[in-house]
Amino acid sequence: MPKHLRVRELTEVERKTIERLTHSRTASVREVERARIIERASAGKRVAEIATEVGCDRRTVRLWLKRFNVAGLAGLGDDPRTGHPPTYTPAQVGEVLAAALSKPTNLGLPFGSWTLDRLEVYLNEEKGIAIKRSRIDELLIDEGLRWRTQEGWFGERATREKREKTDSLDDKPIDPEFAQKRGRLRPSIPAHRQTA
C-alpha cells in the first residue's frame, strides 16, 4: 500500500501566497490549480480527495506536492520549456524593425518603398542577417506592424494631401491626367445576361 504523501509545514509567507493565489482572478489557471492542491494538502486531505476536488489526475497532485516539498513556492512554477533557442538576438530583431520603419531612399537604395523581398535582400546583404521573408513578416506582425497598400498609381483616388497624411514612402507626384490616360475601366466580373 502506498504511503500517504503529505505536504511539509508551510511558512507564513507561503500560506499567505497560496491563499492569495487560490482566490486570484488574474493569476493563470495553472497557478490557481497548483495553489488549490497545496492548500487542500495542508488541510490534511489525501491525494485522491484533492484530485477529485480540484478536477485533475492523482499523478498531477503528487507531482505538485513533491515539487512544493522540495522547492517551496518556486517549485510551483513551470520548468523552462525545451525547444530550439531563439535564432535572432534582440539586437538583430531591432535591426529588422528599424530597417522596415525607415525610408529606403534614406538608406541609399534606388526604390521608394519596402516589400518583404526587398527587405530580405537588404538585411541579408547589407546587415549580414540571414533571415527569410516569412520570418520578417512574423517579426513585424509580432510588433503590431503591417504593410500599407501602395497608392502610387491610383491617380484619381489618391490626392497629394492623403499621401502626406499617410506618410507614403514614395515621393513621386501623382499624374493628374492619369485617369484620362488610363481610359475607361472594365468590371472584373462580367455582368450576367438577363434572359427573357
Provide the residue ranges of all domains of the chain, joining segments of one domain with +.
12-76, 86-174
- Residue 172 has what pLDDT? 58
Give pTM, 2 decimals.
Answer: 0.45
Identify the band that residue 168 occupies on the pLDDT scale cut at 50, 70 and 90: very low
Average confidence (pLDDT) over 77-93: 81
Confidence of residue 63 (pLDDT cuts 50, 70, 90): very high
State yes or no: pLDDT of 62 exceeds 50.
yes
Greater model confidence, 191 or 33: 33
**pLDDT at 150 exceeding the cut of 60:** no
Taking residues 90-107, what's their average pLDDT?
90
Q: How confident is the model at residue 1 (pLDDT cuts 50, 70, 90)?
A: very low
| Cell representation of residue 57 | 489526475
pLDDT recorded at residue 26: 87
% pLDDT > 70, the chain:
76
Q: Which amino acid is at 55?
A: G
Give one word for 163, left, alpha or beta, with left for phi > 0 and alpha for psi -120 to 50: alpha
Residue 86 has pLDDT above 60, yes or no: yes
> What residues contact residue 74 under an 8 Å CB cut-off, 6+ apart?
none
**pLDDT for residue 153 is more than 70:** no
CB 132 within 8 A of CB 120: yes
